[in-house]
Amino acid sequence: MNSAKQVDLLVADLKSKGFPKVEAIIKTAEACVGWSYVWGAGGALCTPSKREYYANRSSCPSGEAEQTRKKCQVLNGSKSACHGCKYLPNGERTEIDDCWGFVKNVLQRYGINLAGYGCTSGWNTKSNWAEQGEIKTLPEKLCCVFWTDKNNPKVKSHIGFYIGNGMMVHCSGEVKREKLSAKCTHWAIPKGLDGDIPVTFPTLRKGSKGEYVTLLQTKLIQLGYDLAPYGADGAYGNKTLEAVKYFQRDHDLTADGITGAKTWEAILNSGGQTLYTVTIPHLGQSVADEIVRKYGGVMVAEG
Protein backbone atom coordinates (compact mmCIF):
# COMPACT_ATOMS: atom_id res chain seq x y z
CA MET A 1 0.00 0.00 0.00
CA ASN A 2 1.26 3.50 -0.85
CA SER A 3 1.37 6.26 1.73
CA ALA A 4 -0.10 9.69 1.11
CA LYS A 5 3.44 11.00 0.70
CA GLN A 6 4.20 8.43 -1.99
CA VAL A 7 1.06 9.35 -3.89
CA ASP A 8 1.96 13.04 -3.65
CA LEU A 9 5.40 12.24 -5.10
CA LEU A 10 3.78 10.23 -7.89
CA VAL A 11 1.48 13.13 -8.79
CA ALA A 12 4.42 15.55 -8.86
CA ASP A 13 6.40 13.15 -11.06
CA LEU A 14 3.52 12.62 -13.50
CA LYS A 15 3.01 16.37 -13.80
CA SER A 16 6.72 17.06 -14.31
CA LYS A 17 6.89 14.49 -17.10
CA GLY A 18 3.83 15.92 -18.83
CA PHE A 19 1.69 12.80 -18.61
CA PRO A 20 -1.74 13.26 -20.21
CA LYS A 21 -4.28 14.15 -17.52
CA VAL A 22 -6.43 11.07 -18.19
CA GLU A 23 -3.51 8.68 -17.80
CA ALA A 24 -2.19 10.52 -14.74
CA ILE A 25 -5.54 10.37 -12.95
CA ILE A 26 -5.86 6.64 -13.61
CA LYS A 27 -2.37 6.01 -12.23
CA THR A 28 -3.10 8.16 -9.19
CA ALA A 29 -6.41 6.45 -8.43
CA GLU A 30 -4.75 3.02 -8.70
CA ALA A 31 -1.94 4.17 -6.41
CA CYS A 32 -4.51 4.79 -3.64
CA VAL A 33 -5.73 1.17 -3.58
CA GLY A 34 -5.97 -0.06 0.01
CA TRP A 35 -6.74 3.29 1.64
CA SER A 36 -9.51 3.13 4.20
CA TYR A 37 -13.12 4.24 3.75
CA VAL A 38 -14.37 6.71 6.37
CA TRP A 39 -17.83 8.22 5.99
CA GLY A 40 -17.67 11.97 5.27
CA ALA A 41 -13.89 12.10 4.81
CA GLY A 42 -12.13 13.48 1.77
CA GLY A 43 -8.34 13.33 1.86
CA ALA A 44 -7.54 13.75 5.56
CA LEU A 45 -4.56 11.84 6.92
CA CYS A 46 -5.54 8.64 8.70
CA THR A 47 -5.10 9.24 12.44
CA PRO A 48 -7.17 8.08 15.43
CA SER A 49 -8.21 11.68 16.15
CA LYS A 50 -9.40 12.25 12.58
CA ARG A 51 -11.33 9.00 12.59
CA GLU A 52 -12.95 9.96 15.87
CA TYR A 53 -13.83 13.37 14.45
CA TYR A 54 -15.75 11.86 11.52
CA ALA A 55 -17.35 9.18 13.71
CA ASN A 56 -18.65 11.88 16.07
CA ARG A 57 -20.27 14.03 13.41
CA SER A 58 -24.00 14.27 13.99
CA SER A 59 -24.73 13.37 10.36
CA CYS A 60 -22.68 10.16 10.50
CA PRO A 61 -24.90 7.04 10.56
CA SER A 62 -24.32 4.92 13.66
CA GLY A 63 -23.23 1.91 11.63
CA GLU A 64 -20.61 3.97 9.78
CA ALA A 65 -19.33 5.44 13.04
CA GLU A 66 -18.91 1.93 14.43
CA GLN A 67 -16.95 0.78 11.37
CA THR A 68 -14.75 3.88 11.45
CA ARG A 69 -13.68 3.07 15.00
CA LYS A 70 -13.50 -0.69 14.47
CA LYS A 71 -10.91 -0.39 11.69
CA CYS A 72 -8.59 1.68 13.89
CA GLN A 73 -6.42 -0.39 16.25
CA VAL A 74 -6.23 2.53 18.68
CA LEU A 75 -9.96 3.28 18.75
CA ASN A 76 -10.94 -0.38 18.94
CA GLY A 77 -8.57 -0.85 21.88
CA SER A 78 -6.40 -3.59 20.36
CA LYS A 79 -3.26 -1.41 20.51
CA SER A 80 -2.24 1.83 22.17
CA ALA A 81 -0.54 3.37 19.12
CA CYS A 82 -0.63 3.29 15.29
CA HIS A 83 2.66 1.38 14.95
CA GLY A 84 2.15 -1.76 12.86
CA CYS A 85 -1.23 -0.67 11.45
CA LYS A 86 -1.90 -1.64 7.83
CA TYR A 87 -2.88 1.96 7.16
CA LEU A 88 0.60 3.13 8.22
CA PRO A 89 2.88 1.55 5.57
CA ASN A 90 6.57 2.04 6.40
CA GLY A 91 5.55 4.41 9.19
CA GLU A 92 3.85 6.88 6.81
CA ARG A 93 0.20 7.94 6.91
CA THR A 94 -2.35 7.05 4.27
CA GLU A 95 -5.50 9.09 3.64
CA ILE A 96 -9.14 8.44 4.51
CA ASP A 97 -12.06 9.06 2.14
CA ASP A 98 -15.63 8.11 1.47
CA CYS A 99 -16.65 7.34 -2.11
CA TRP A 100 -17.40 10.95 -3.08
CA GLY A 101 -14.41 12.28 -1.17
CA PHE A 102 -12.06 9.84 -2.94
CA VAL A 103 -13.17 10.83 -6.44
CA LYS A 104 -13.18 14.51 -5.58
CA ASN A 105 -9.77 14.28 -3.90
CA VAL A 106 -8.08 12.58 -6.89
CA LEU A 107 -9.56 15.03 -9.39
CA GLN A 108 -8.59 18.04 -7.29
CA ARG A 109 -4.94 17.01 -7.58
CA TYR A 110 -5.23 17.77 -11.30
CA GLY A 111 -7.21 21.01 -11.08
CA ILE A 112 -10.70 19.53 -11.53
CA ASN A 113 -13.07 20.64 -8.78
CA LEU A 114 -16.45 18.97 -8.42
CA ALA A 115 -19.19 20.96 -6.71
CA GLY A 116 -21.57 19.25 -4.30
CA TYR A 117 -21.51 17.54 -0.94
CA GLY A 118 -22.07 13.98 -2.09
CA CYS A 119 -23.04 11.70 -4.94
CA THR A 120 -26.58 12.98 -5.44
CA SER A 121 -25.83 16.69 -5.28
CA GLY A 122 -22.71 16.15 -7.37
CA TRP A 123 -24.65 14.29 -10.04
CA ASN A 124 -27.36 16.97 -10.08
CA THR A 125 -24.85 19.82 -10.45
CA LYS A 126 -24.82 19.96 -14.24
CA SER A 127 -21.89 22.38 -14.30
CA ASN A 128 -19.70 19.49 -13.06
CA TRP A 129 -20.08 17.42 -16.20
CA ALA A 130 -19.17 17.58 -19.87
CA GLU A 131 -21.41 14.56 -20.57
CA GLN A 132 -23.77 12.29 -18.62
CA GLY A 133 -25.57 9.12 -19.58
CA GLU A 134 -26.97 5.73 -18.62
CA ILE A 135 -24.53 2.90 -18.05
CA LYS A 136 -25.64 1.11 -21.22
CA THR A 137 -23.99 3.92 -23.21
CA LEU A 138 -20.76 3.91 -21.14
CA PRO A 139 -17.93 5.23 -23.35
CA GLU A 140 -14.40 3.87 -23.29
CA LYS A 141 -13.24 7.02 -21.54
CA LEU A 142 -12.13 7.88 -18.04
CA CYS A 143 -15.32 8.93 -16.29
CA CYS A 144 -17.24 8.73 -13.03
CA VAL A 145 -19.72 5.91 -12.59
CA PHE A 146 -22.69 6.11 -10.23
CA TRP A 147 -25.02 3.74 -8.39
CA THR A 148 -28.69 4.68 -8.09
CA ASP A 149 -30.52 3.83 -4.86
CA LYS A 150 -32.87 0.97 -5.75
CA ASN A 151 -35.54 2.41 -3.44
CA ASN A 152 -35.25 5.99 -4.66
CA PRO A 153 -34.28 6.71 -8.27
CA LYS A 154 -33.51 10.32 -7.40
CA VAL A 155 -30.69 9.31 -5.06
CA LYS A 156 -27.18 8.40 -6.21
CA SER A 157 -25.72 6.17 -3.52
CA HIS A 158 -22.14 5.57 -4.70
CA ILE A 159 -19.48 6.82 -7.13
CA GLY A 160 -16.21 5.55 -8.55
CA PHE A 161 -13.88 5.91 -11.52
CA TYR A 162 -14.31 3.86 -14.69
CA ILE A 163 -10.72 3.33 -15.91
CA GLY A 164 -11.35 1.28 -19.05
CA ASN A 165 -11.31 -2.36 -20.09
CA GLY A 166 -14.27 -3.11 -17.83
CA MET A 167 -12.42 -2.03 -14.68
CA MET A 168 -13.15 0.54 -12.01
CA VAL A 169 -11.47 2.10 -8.95
CA HIS A 170 -13.73 3.13 -6.08
CA CYS A 171 -13.79 3.53 -2.30
CA SER A 172 -16.09 1.02 -0.62
CA GLY A 173 -14.73 -0.36 2.66
CA GLU A 174 -11.40 0.69 1.22
CA VAL A 175 -10.12 1.85 -2.16
CA LYS A 176 -10.40 -1.07 -4.59
CA ARG A 177 -9.54 -1.81 -8.20
CA GLU A 178 -11.99 -4.37 -9.57
CA LYS A 179 -14.38 -5.22 -12.37
CA LEU A 180 -17.09 -2.70 -13.16
CA SER A 181 -19.99 -3.43 -10.84
CA ALA A 182 -23.34 -4.54 -12.18
CA LYS A 183 -24.82 -2.00 -9.75
CA CYS A 184 -23.53 0.90 -11.84
CA THR A 185 -26.43 2.77 -13.44
CA HIS A 186 -24.99 6.02 -14.84
CA TRP A 187 -21.75 7.65 -15.97
CA ALA A 188 -20.51 11.22 -16.21
CA ILE A 189 -17.36 12.84 -17.61
CA PRO A 190 -16.10 15.76 -15.48
CA LYS A 191 -15.49 18.99 -17.35
CA GLY A 192 -11.83 19.29 -18.22
CA LEU A 193 -11.38 15.54 -18.46
CA ASP A 194 -12.54 14.62 -21.94
CA GLY A 195 -10.21 12.12 -23.55
CA ASP A 196 -9.95 8.49 -24.53
CA ILE A 197 -8.34 6.06 -22.14
CA PRO A 198 -4.80 5.33 -23.38
CA VAL A 199 -4.11 1.85 -24.66
CA THR A 200 -1.26 0.25 -22.74
CA PHE A 201 0.90 -2.11 -24.77
CA PRO A 202 2.73 -4.84 -22.89
CA THR A 203 6.51 -5.14 -22.88
CA LEU A 204 7.49 -7.90 -25.30
CA ARG A 205 10.73 -9.88 -25.52
CA LYS A 206 12.06 -13.14 -26.94
CA GLY A 207 9.65 -15.90 -25.94
CA SER A 208 6.54 -13.68 -25.87
CA LYS A 209 3.50 -14.89 -27.78
CA GLY A 210 0.05 -13.63 -28.68
CA GLU A 211 -1.87 -10.90 -30.43
CA TYR A 212 0.47 -8.07 -29.43
CA VAL A 213 3.41 -9.96 -30.92
CA THR A 214 1.40 -10.36 -34.12
CA LEU A 215 0.69 -6.61 -34.13
CA LEU A 216 4.37 -5.85 -33.59
CA GLN A 217 5.42 -8.19 -36.39
CA THR A 218 2.80 -6.78 -38.77
CA LYS A 219 4.05 -3.24 -38.15
CA LEU A 220 7.67 -4.29 -38.63
CA ILE A 221 6.83 -5.96 -41.94
CA GLN A 222 4.91 -2.87 -43.07
CA LEU A 223 7.95 -0.78 -42.23
CA GLY A 224 10.19 -2.99 -44.35
CA TYR A 225 11.87 -5.20 -41.76
CA ASP A 226 12.48 -8.77 -42.83
CA LEU A 227 10.65 -11.48 -40.86
CA ALA A 228 10.78 -14.19 -43.53
CA PRO A 229 10.11 -17.06 -43.50
CA TYR A 230 7.89 -16.81 -40.40
CA GLY A 231 6.04 -13.55 -40.99
CA ALA A 232 3.51 -12.35 -38.40
CA ASP A 233 3.15 -15.68 -36.61
CA GLY A 234 2.63 -14.32 -33.10
CA ALA A 235 5.84 -15.83 -31.71
CA TYR A 236 8.72 -13.56 -30.64
CA GLY A 237 11.66 -15.61 -31.89
CA ASN A 238 15.17 -14.83 -33.09
CA LYS A 239 13.96 -13.28 -36.35
CA THR A 240 11.64 -10.86 -34.53
CA LEU A 241 14.37 -10.10 -31.99
CA GLU A 242 16.77 -9.24 -34.83
CA ALA A 243 14.18 -7.06 -36.59
CA VAL A 244 13.40 -5.14 -33.39
CA LYS A 245 17.11 -4.50 -32.81
CA TYR A 246 17.47 -3.17 -36.37
CA PHE A 247 14.43 -0.93 -35.85
CA GLN A 248 15.84 0.36 -32.55
CA ARG A 249 19.19 1.20 -34.13
CA ASP A 250 17.46 3.00 -36.99
CA HIS A 251 15.50 5.13 -34.49
CA ASP A 252 18.30 5.88 -32.00
CA LEU A 253 16.86 3.60 -29.33
CA THR A 254 18.72 1.14 -27.11
CA ALA A 255 19.11 -1.91 -29.33
CA ASP A 256 18.27 -4.57 -26.76
CA GLY A 257 15.56 -6.33 -28.77
CA ILE A 258 12.94 -5.66 -26.08
CA THR A 259 9.78 -3.90 -27.21
CA GLY A 260 8.98 -1.56 -24.34
CA ALA A 261 7.11 1.73 -24.17
CA LYS A 262 9.61 3.79 -26.20
CA THR A 263 9.93 1.17 -28.93
CA TRP A 264 6.15 0.77 -29.13
CA GLU A 265 5.74 4.53 -29.43
CA ALA A 266 8.30 4.74 -32.23
CA ILE A 267 6.79 1.81 -34.12
CA LEU A 268 3.21 3.03 -33.83
CA ASN A 269 4.18 6.55 -34.87
CA SER A 270 6.14 5.37 -37.90
CA GLY A 271 4.23 5.96 -41.11
CA GLY A 272 3.64 3.58 -43.96
CA GLN A 273 6.01 3.11 -46.84
CA THR A 274 6.54 5.51 -49.70
CA LEU A 275 7.84 3.46 -52.64
CA TYR A 276 10.49 4.64 -55.09
CA THR A 277 12.31 3.04 -58.00
CA VAL A 278 16.05 3.64 -57.73
CA THR A 279 18.82 2.42 -60.01
CA ILE A 280 22.26 2.18 -58.43
CA PRO A 281 24.95 0.79 -60.70
CA HIS A 282 27.80 -1.40 -59.41
CA LEU A 283 26.16 -1.90 -56.01
CA GLY A 284 27.59 -4.67 -53.85
CA GLN A 285 25.20 -7.34 -52.56
CA SER A 286 25.83 -6.61 -48.87
CA VAL A 287 25.09 -2.91 -49.35
CA ALA A 288 21.99 -3.74 -51.42
CA ASP A 289 20.72 -6.05 -48.68
CA GLU A 290 21.24 -3.32 -46.07
CA ILE A 291 19.25 -0.80 -48.16
CA VAL A 292 16.37 -3.23 -48.56
CA ARG A 293 16.43 -4.05 -44.87
CA LYS A 294 16.40 -0.41 -43.82
CA TYR A 295 14.04 1.06 -46.38
CA GLY A 296 11.99 -1.91 -47.55
CA GLY A 297 11.07 -2.77 -51.12
CA VAL A 298 12.54 -5.32 -53.49
CA MET A 299 16.01 -5.42 -54.99
CA VAL A 300 16.09 -6.51 -58.64
CA ALA A 301 19.49 -7.58 -59.95
CA GLU A 302 20.16 -7.30 -63.67
CA GLY A 303 22.62 -9.53 -65.40
The per-residue pLDDT for 200 is 64
Q: Which amino acid appears at position 209 of this protein?
A: K
**Which value, to the nearest 10 degrees, does the dihedral of the CA atoms of residues 137, 143, 144, 147 take?**
20
The per-residue pLDDT for 219 is 87
pLDDT at 301 over 50: no
The per-residue pLDDT for 64 is 94
Name the strand (E) or helix (H) holding 30.
helix 21-31
- Residues 21-44: pLDDT tens digits? 888 899 999 999 999 999 999 999
pLDDT at 303 over 50: no
pLDDT at 128 over 50: yes
The per-residue pLDDT for 269 is 78
Residue 17 DSSP SS3: coil
pLDDT at 129 over 80: yes
pLDDT at 196 over 70: no
Question: Exposed (0-12), middle (13-18) or buried (19+): which is 117, by Cβ within 10 Å?
Answer: exposed
pTM of the prediction? 0.66
- Residues 66-87: pLDDT tens digits? 999 999 999 999 999 999 999 9
pLDDT at 159 over 80: yes
**Which value, to the nearest 10 degrees, does the dihedral of the CA atoms of residues 278, 280, 285, 287 take?**
-80
The per-residue pLDDT for 16 is 85
The per-residue pLDDT for 253 is 94
Name the strand (E) or helix (H) holding 218.
helix 211-222
pLDDT at 268 over 50: yes
pLDDT at 215 over 80: yes
pLDDT at 197 over 90: no
Mean pLDDT of 255-267: 91
The fraction of the chain above a pLDDT of 70, given in percent, is 87
The per-residue pLDDT for 297 is 52
Model confidence band, residue 204 (pLDDT cutoffs 50, 70, 90)? very high
Task: Give DSSP secondary structure letters for 125-188.
Answer: -GGGEEEEEEGGG--SB-EEEEEE-TT-TT-EEEEEEEEETTEEEEEESEEEEEEPPTTEEEEE
The per-residue pLDDT for 286 is 65
Domains of the chain as residue ranges with CATH: 4-190 (3.90.1720.10), 211-295 (1.10.101)
Model confidence band, residue 14 (pLDDT cutoffs 50, 70, 90)? confident
pLDDT at 298 over 50: no
